[in-house]
Structure 1
């Protein structure tokens, strides 16, 4: 029996988040800086002899069953998985699909989009398809944004597919261009050492926050648009700080980014986030921001190493939970497990022949 598995990394939104939403980027163009971390969305796919498709989500504690003879309908139950199935499966045999995530829903780490990328990666492995990182990300956007109508930007799918540090450009004419950044290893180590990732324990539905942002753009709200223009500009500044080996400047720019981001929509911050931010700055953080649309989820803070302990203590006292992490420089990864085979057998994967 073979298992087809895939993992897709989650991401931290560092700068420019929101300018990748098409209501803005189609008019003004968008720029986003992000990085993936060693937290993942996982998919396990196992073929069987039943006439059904069984979908199980560990995150939501839910399961559903689809008869192969019936049409797959989006109804709010396992819709992300159903989207991938519609695109990639021919219905010849039944299978079991299990999904789980290293971060809770509404975390601000792009977990939903990473899950779609992971699902696509598992089917890519099953069917031995030749798909580039762009192909996978574009198909994920098609499923999540267009077919399911889930509001959001475009950075998450591309971040999870490509992995690592990326500066992304969004434009209606040229589409999405991903520019991988070659950052000095000592800068990466310094960032990992000095960044604190805090879970606020307050989850939110990002689509509602994005909806407010979209309305502000459509209404030509000057405060919102000016903030987004500034965020796009400072994504370039943050990229420069990383490439030229100035992590301290990167930390200071996080503060500016957060102050501007809050101007995009009233729901981006709240008293809890404001208090945690104030506590961290008082304890010695140079700057910080939420990852993702805002409203809750994870916040990140940059602090000099001598202040890190004080910042962590302040955040824990404020009710946050600290999560250790490292950067993940690889994107989506899929593989086959043949461990239960009794005799050696060669299978052909997307990476070439594998002797099991």
Structure 2
């Protein structure tokens, strides 16, 4: 009966994520360690309604401008991208997945809206956070959370983004679906057999205090297109061996975290960035992004990108006094600096129940 679907509003958050070790090997059958970043999030609200409505955000889906030059300036800084297209894409991917897998959905309609405070173009996975929060709302609205495995959900999020031409890997979406600290192995056999990787939650208390550096206006940094993917497909030995080494950074990092070997963790973080820099080159990485890494290194801290650039994750092995030096240096350089808040796992009993079934 239609009245059964007139439930209360559903609201979910999905948080930004930090690729701690191993990125970008997730798109090359590698391994990564990532965690959910509590400093920033996207939220999606779903309310039952007579018609299905996707609500534009007043700031992020701007359609009214002061002038033609305002429109052009806005497009140059933010592109054509708002969140409405992301919400529409996940609705389509979710519906198709349910249809293909014999999952029946009731015929109730809804109004979906979103908000986000994740800084743009900082490599903190702002787009996928919106999609992830929307998927959580759909799972609960249609009461099918128990029918769609946790391991499959990052694929649905990624497929919604691929639908829009966004090029990305599974790592970010896994961190956002699972929450907490997650070790991920994207080995080819597992990916081919199940369609997703091996995802192992870790205790967030294994992490030492970490810091985030990001730029308020990162849009002028790292615009050159990378050739790494094509070189990997072409069998370039340097790229293949470098990416294997990046994947091993995550493997060694898992042991370092478990053993609380923070000196090793610092070495691995720096090595991860150095490998990326050798593969991609400074033009691709962008001068501003490199400076964010270097500003931490100059005071003896370990640093690397959180994703593909725009923000940097930092470990200060010498503790709070070193972090204060870094904060002052960031302020002088015009970068924003924050202590990282790590979110615990988001998985419910229902979610965990889907992990034990094949």
Classify the TM-score, shorter chain. Answer: 0.7 to 0.9
Indicate the larger mover: 275-284 or 91-100.
Answer: 91-100
- Counterparts of residues 196-211 of structure 1 (less than 5 Å): 196-203=211-218
The match for 1:33 is 33
- Counterparts of residues 168-183 of structure 1 (less than 5 Å): 168-175=184-191, 176-182=197-203
The answer as to 2:85 corresponding to 1:79 is yes
* TM-score, normalization by structure 2: 0.77
- Counterparts of residues 316-355 of structure 1 (less than 5 Å): 316-331=331-346
* TM-score, normalization by structure 1: 0.77
**Residue 151 of structure 2, aligned match among 120, 125, 134:** 134
Counterparts of 1:224 and 1:135, CA distance in 2: 29
Q: 1:163, CA displacement in angstroms?
A: 1.1
The match for 1:336 is none
Alpha-carbon spacing, 1:31–1:300, altered in 2? closer, same or farther (3 Å): same
The answer as to 2:169 corresponding to 1:153 is yes
Q: 1:231, CA displacement in angstroms?
A: 0.7
The answer as to 2:328 corresponding to 1:313 is yes
The match for 2:314 is 301
Q: Counting helix residues as a fraction of each chain, which structure ranks higher?
A: 2
SS at match of 1:138: helix
The match for 1:279 is 295
Query: Is the Cα–Cα contact under 8 Å of residues 213 and 265 in structure 1 kept in the other structure?
Result: yes
Counterparts of 2:31 and 2:224, CA distance in 1: 19
Counterparts of 1:135 and 1:58, CA distance in 2: 32
Query: Is the Cα–Cα contact under 8 Å of residues 268 and 293 in structure 1 kept in the other structure?
Result: no
Alpha-carbon spacing, 1:61–1:80, altered in 2? closer, same or farther (3 Å): closer
Alpha-carbon spacing, 1:209–1:111, altered in 2? closer, same or farther (3 Å): farther
- Counterparts of residues 38-117 of structure 1 (less than 5 Å): 38=38, 39-49=40-50, 51-57=51-57, 60-62=60-62, 78-88=84-94, 92=107, 94-117=109-132
Query: Is the Cα–Cα contact under 8 Å of residues 155 and 170 in structure 2 kept in the other structure?
Result: no
Alpha-carbon spacing, 1:264–1:307, altered in 2? closer, same or farther (3 Å): same
Query: Is the Cα–Cα contact under 8 Å of residues 46 and 111 in structure 2 kept in the other structure?
Result: yes
Cα-Cα RMSD:
3.0
- Counterparts of residues 4-19 of structure 1 (less than 5 Å): 4-19=10-25
Q: 1:94, CA displacement in angstroms?
A: 4.8
CA deviations over 1:2-44 (Å, ceiling 9, x no partner): 21111122211011112111xx32xxxx111111121322111
Alpha-carbon spacing, 1:63–1:158, altered in 2? closer, same or farther (3 Å): farther
Query: Which sections of structure 2, spanning at least 5 residues, go unmatched?
Result: 1-6, 65-79, 96-104, 192-196, 353-358
Counterparts of 1:211 and 1:114, CA distance in 2: 24
Query: Which sections of structure 1, spanning at least 5 residues, go unmatched?
Result: 65-74, 334-348, 352-356
Q: Counting strand residues as a fraction of each chain, which structure ranks higher?
A: 1
